Structure 1
Amino acid sequence: MKANSTDWRNKIMPAVFTWFKESESGALEIDFDATQKYAADILKVQGKGGTRMGGLVGSGTLGENSYLSSEQRLSLLKAFSVVAKEYNVPLVSGAAAETKEGIAQIVKELATVGVDTVMVMPPATKEAPSDEEMYAYYEFSAIAAKEAGVTIMPYNNPDAAGYHAISTDILLRLAALPEVTALKISTIDVSIIETLMLENKDLEILAGVDTVTIHAGLAGACGGITGVGSIFPKASVTMQEHVNKGEWAEANKISQAMNSISYLDAQPLLMEYLKFAFGIHHNDEAGGLRTLGVKLTQEQIDDVRARYILAKERLELLDLVD
């Protein structure tokens, strides 16, 4: 599969977790076998309409990207590349840097381990860049992507990035770059998606928050990247199938069934919450709590467990639990 041929329309992709095990010294290290197995298990699942996940997102926010060393990230993505090739889907990963030179270097490094598309976060600087500085940062990543034979996906997350949010004007300019195959918009304010689509109806926009999958589809998003879909892939794929067909009532039934757990995808500790829910789902609560991130309190653990159980019970009634 050539990266520049990627079409994101009507696709939902799982943002998968990085699984850890304890080394002999007691430190956490990546469990590559378990991580690959869980990723493959998700890609095997079909929705009720017969479709599967349209890509694999590794070492993103839910994959503890910001906590891993460069060497760990590259090794992890090399392992994911094997799985992505087996299931003939593009491999996507995230990247962020302080400078345009830094992001260009990361894009090139990711290309060497099989990444097809790089989700590029805004610059990780203390002060907000100007629009021209923001554009130059992404332009550098696009030049590097062209040289490396991959594509990029500007990743706008205004709810988390604050003043580093990418303006709609810059997003529209970036979308015109040949190396940009889609925009990822992670926000509960889907009016951003609608604003972009009104300016350019041919844009490919992927939604990045599970709570608004349907609303994002109504606003014009062509697909999405899901965290909850790593836990309940049959439900997420089936919901996207209904969204693709404009079957909003059917899609809404599934969205409502997943509400309790989708809520976690819009929280600051989304990675820790959803990873633990994934651990519950696979009868490995201890594994779900092994993280380089924040250690959950007992109150948080109990809340995630209750939300997972409620979603599972609702989805079982719809025959949407794998």
Structure 2
Amino acid sequence: MKKNSKDWRNTVMPAVFTWLKESESGALEIDLDTTKKYAANILKAQGKGGTRMGGLVGSGTLGENSYLSSEQRLSLLKALSSVAQEYKVPLISGAAAKTKEELYKIVTELATVGVDTVMVMPPKTKEAPCDNEMYAYFALAAAAAKEAGITIMPYNNPDAAGYHALSTALLTKLAALPEVTALKISTIDVSVIETMMLDNKNLKVLAGVDTVTVHAGLAGACGGITGVGCVFPKASITMQEYVNNGEWAEANKISQAMNSISYLDAQPLLLEYLKFAFGVHHNDADGGLRTLGKKLTQQQIDDVRTRYIKAKERLEILDLID
């Protein structure tokens, strides 16, 4: 196991944006230097209790993953690996494939550029495979990870997969694989977390939606992966600190303060919304609009700006703006 990837209890990790710039031809290309700078800034942030982010998630949904070529992803992750190494945290990246053989190749490639743990999405198929086929898919990813000396994180995201969520029985079985660092659960229904924790209190589960951080903690999640934390890292880390300490009222104050912007993390256009909010936060509205994703309407832009301002004002009162 590499770095801190063996135990991520009581931590929150940012799913960082991939910053883009215009090339001489006018096309958008990855701005590696700016991406690294902002990732480092987020990892420098501390909560009120003095803790920091416990990992770095690159080339995920918020990192334009679905729009990048394989070559671009590997180049991006190699650059982010240097940042993760500097701050001594594991580098995590996502992987999605149609077949387990294709997934095996992706996991192997990601290991060559410094990725410590691969978030493995369910197969990109129109119909959900049966549990036996699904298990074989993740098990082969685990085998690839073992050979490469890294770990995997099964990623239960029914919205992204396009079909029903993985069953709790399957998730529990996957969690028993030695190469599985944690399970990532991206759903607003946290009852699945509690159901699994009741069966095995030693499971490591990370919440994947910002709106449920506190409720997921109550259900037994050991941490989370955050998008909003890229915009407000001090607030995100401090909220997790309160969750870790069982100070639910204090954690809930922060959750309520961020509700207006956390809502965006659970929307289909979360990449476009949160990236624009990040740009506004850094006085770079144009930069926030540079995305390979969908172009926002003026109404959407105004809504995101309003939600960002409301969250910022509330967090300022709590002294949680960096």
TM-score bucket (shorter structure): over 0.9
Structure 1: stretches of 5+ with no match in the other structure: none
Distance in 1 (alpha carbons) for counterparts of 2:196 and 2:79: 35
After the TM superposition, which parts of structure 1 deviate over 4 Å for at least 4 consecutive aligned residues? none
Alignment-derived partner of residue 199 in structure 1: 199
Q: CA deviation at 1:199?
A: 1.2
Q: What TM-score do you get using the length of structure 2 for normalisation?
A: 0.98
Distance in 2 (alpha carbons) for counterparts of 1:130 and 1:237: 38
Distance in 1 (alpha carbons) for counterparts of 2:166 and 2:177: 15
Q: Over residues 115-159 of structure 1, what are the superposed CA-to-partner deviations in whole Å (9 max), with x where a residue is unaligned? A: 000000000012221111100000000000000000000000124
Alignment-derived partner of residue 208 in structure 2: 208
The 5-angstrom pairing of residues 236-251 of structure 1 reads 236-251=236-251
Q: Does structure 2 conserve the Cα–Cα contact (< 8 Å) formed by 1:3 and 1:151?
A: no
Q: Does structure 2 conserve the Cα–Cα contact (< 8 Å) formed by 1:64 and 1:293?
A: yes
Q: Over residues 172-226 of structure 1, what are the superposed CA-to-partner deviations in whole Å (9 max), with x where a residue is unaligned? A: 1100100001000000000010111111110000000000000000000000000
Alignment-derived partner of residue 178 in structure 1: 178
Amino acid at match of 1:72: Q
Distance in 2 (alpha carbons) for counterparts of 1:32 and 1:4: 24
Distance in 2 (alpha carbons) for counterparts of 1:136 and 1:284: 45
Q: Over residues 10-43 of structure 1, what are the superposed CA-to-partner deviations in whole Å (9 max), with x where a residue is unaligned? A: 0000000000000000000000000000000000
Q: Does structure 1 conserve the Cα–Cα contact (< 8 Å) formed by 2:239 and 2:254?
A: yes
Distance in 1 (alpha carbons) for counterparts of 2:5 and 2:115: 14
Amino acid at match of 1:271: L
Identity %: 82
Distance in 2 (alpha carbons) for counterparts of 1:121 and 1:173: 16
The alignment of Structure 1 onto Structure 2 pairs a total of residues equal to 322
Distance in 1 (alpha carbons) for counterparts of 2:121 and 2:248: 31
Q: Does structure 2 conserve the Cα–Cα contact (< 8 Å) formed by 1:122 and 1:165?
A: no
Distance in 2 (alpha carbons) for counterparts of 1:196 and 1:312: 35
Q: CA deviation at 1:165?
A: 2.3
Q: Does structure 1 conserve the Cα–Cα contact (< 8 Å) formed by 2:207 and 2:213?
A: yes
Alignment-derived partner of residue 262 in structure 2: 262
Amino acid at match of 1:22: E
Alignment-derived partner of residue 83 in structure 2: 83
Alignment-derived partner of residue 25 in structure 2: 25
Alignment-derived partner of residue 70 in structure 2: 70
Q: CA deviation at 1:3?
A: 5.4
* 1:291 partnered with 2:287: no
Structure 2: stretches of 5+ with no match in the other structure: none
Q: What TM-score do you get using the length of structure 1 for normalisation?
A: 0.98
Distance in 2 (alpha carbons) for counterparts of 1:194 and 1:252: 19
Q: Over residues 63-83 of structure 1, what are the superposed CA-to-partner deviations in whole Å (9 max), with x where a residue is unaligned? A: 010110000000000000000
Q: Does structure 2 conserve the Cα–Cα contact (< 8 Å) formed by 1:155 and 1:185?
A: yes
Amino acid at match of 1:153: M
The 5-angstrom pairing of residues 280-319 of structure 1 reads 280-319=280-319
